[in-house]
Amino acid sequence: MDILMRRISIQLFFLSKKYQLLNVAQILERRLVLDEYLLSFKTIFAYDLNHLLAMRLRKLKSSEELTSILRMRNIDQMSGEAMKQCVKFFFEH
């Protein structure tokens, strides 16, 4: 996907989350995963993007990497599902 289409997809995704168009958000998140579009962990946690989180966690090499990322984030505001995925990652690595 070219850069313009990615930007449009991202903007549409944020708008769909804002206006609670859940089906649209789900389709666009799936598209971002298929294109392996890397959003920041901050954005992933803010918008509860569990599929993108799983993709990003698969790309990490060690639990130390995740530890350094989580130290910069407010884990109190993470969703329960995101916390479960992070804990699972710690146990597997």
Q: What is the pLDDT of residue 37?
A: 79
Q: Please report the pLDDT score of residue 8 as a whole number.
A: 80
Residue 36 sits in which domain range?
3-92
For residues 65-70, give the mean pLDDT: 90
pLDDT at 84 over 90: yes
Question: Residue holding tokens 């130390």?
Answer: 64
Residues above pLDDT 90, as percent of the chain: 24
Cβ-contact 4, 38 below 8 angstroms: no
Q: What is the DSSP string of 12-54?
A: HHHHHHHTT-HHHHHHHHHHHHHTT----HHHHHHTT-HHHHH
State the total domains in the chain: 1
